[in-house]
């Protein structure tokens, strides 16, 4: 019985720590990447069950990460939850066109985030996963 692994891609280290604490407290395993390039590397290496992906990133953006993942046979199935601080409906549209599983806007509402993660990972109890 292993915990589900979530890759947090976010350039704000503090926010990464906060998210990690919150997710770990809910029995998820978390890893993180602070830029687009390391996000791809981490995804290849660690095969996460879910990626929480910020749009604004150094060395590429959230969309470029999504494209890279889609082009890889092993990674294209990983569900993506996109997040952004930008308050712009075009970003929302772009995200869905890119085929993300969910989208939310910062500042993060913890309950909302947890509920999304839970649904996207498709388990009522993350502890009972594979």
Partner 1 sequence: MKKMAKANILIVEDERITAEIIQSALKKLGYAVSSIASTRKEAVKKAEELRPDLVLMDIMLKGKMEGIEAADQIRSNFNIPVVYLTAYSDEQTLKRARITDPFGYILKPFETKELHTAIEIALHKHEMERKLRKTQEWLSTTLKNIGDAVIATDIKGFVTYMNLMAEVLTGWNKDEALGGRLNKVFTITRNEKGKRSINPVIEVMKKGEVLNLSNNLLLKNKDGEKIPIALNGAPISDGKGNIAEVVFAFRNISEKLQMEEALENTKASFRSVVEKNNDGLIIVDRNGIVRFANPKGLAFMGKNDKRYIGKKFRYPIAKVKSAEIKISRANGKPGVGEMHVVETEWENKPGYLVSIRDITDRKRLIEKLEKAHQQQIQTRDKFLSHISHELRTPLSVIHQFVTILLDELDGEVNPTQKEDLEIVLRNTNQLSMMIGDLLDVTRAITGRINIDPHLLSIAEEISKTISAFKKRAAEKGLLLHSEIQDDLPSVYADPVRIRQVLSNLIDNAIKFTPEKETIAIRASQYHKDPDYVCVEVADTGCGIDPDEKKKIFEYLYQAKKIPVPNRKGLGLGLFICKEIVFRHDGEIWVESVPEKGSTFYFTLPVYSLAKLLAPILTNDSLQRGFLTLCTIKIFPPDKPLPDQIWENIIQMVQDVLRSSLFQDSEVLLPMTNSPGPGQTFFLVANANKKETNGIIKRIKGQLALCDVLQNAGIEISVSFSKIDISREDFSAQLDQIEKKVIFCSMEN
Which residues bind to partner 1, rule: CB under 8 A? 12, 14-15, 18-19, 21-22, 25, 85-87, 89, 92-93, 96-97, 99-104, 106-108, 110, 112, 115-116, 118-120, 122
Task: Give the residue with the Cβ less far from partner 1, 45 or 93.
Answer: 93
Report d(CA 100, CA 130) in Å as an integer.
Answer: 23
CA 67 to chain CA mean position, Å = 14
CB of 45 to partner 1, least distance (A): 25
Q: Identify whether the C-beta of residue 11 lies closer than 8 Å to the C-beta of residue 33.
A: no
Task: Give the residue with the Cβ less far from partner 1, 41 or 112.
Answer: 112
């Amino acid at each position: 019985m292993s915990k589900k692994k979530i890759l947090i891609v976010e350039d704000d280290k503090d926010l990464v720590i906060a998210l990690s604490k919150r997710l770990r407290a809910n029995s998820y395993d978390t890893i993180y990447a602070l830029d687009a390039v390391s996000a791809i590397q981490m995804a290849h290496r660690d095969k996460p069950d879910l990626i929480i992906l910020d749009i604004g990133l150094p060395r590429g953006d959230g969309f470029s990460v999504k494209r890279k993942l889609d082009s890889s046979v092993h990674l294209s199935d990983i569900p993506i939850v996109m997040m952004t601080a930008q308050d712009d409906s075009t970003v929302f549209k772009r995200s869905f066109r890119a085929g993300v599983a969910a989208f939310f806007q910062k500042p993060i509402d913890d309950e909302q985030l947890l509920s999304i993660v839970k649904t996207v990972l498709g388990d009522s109890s993350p502890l009972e996963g594979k």
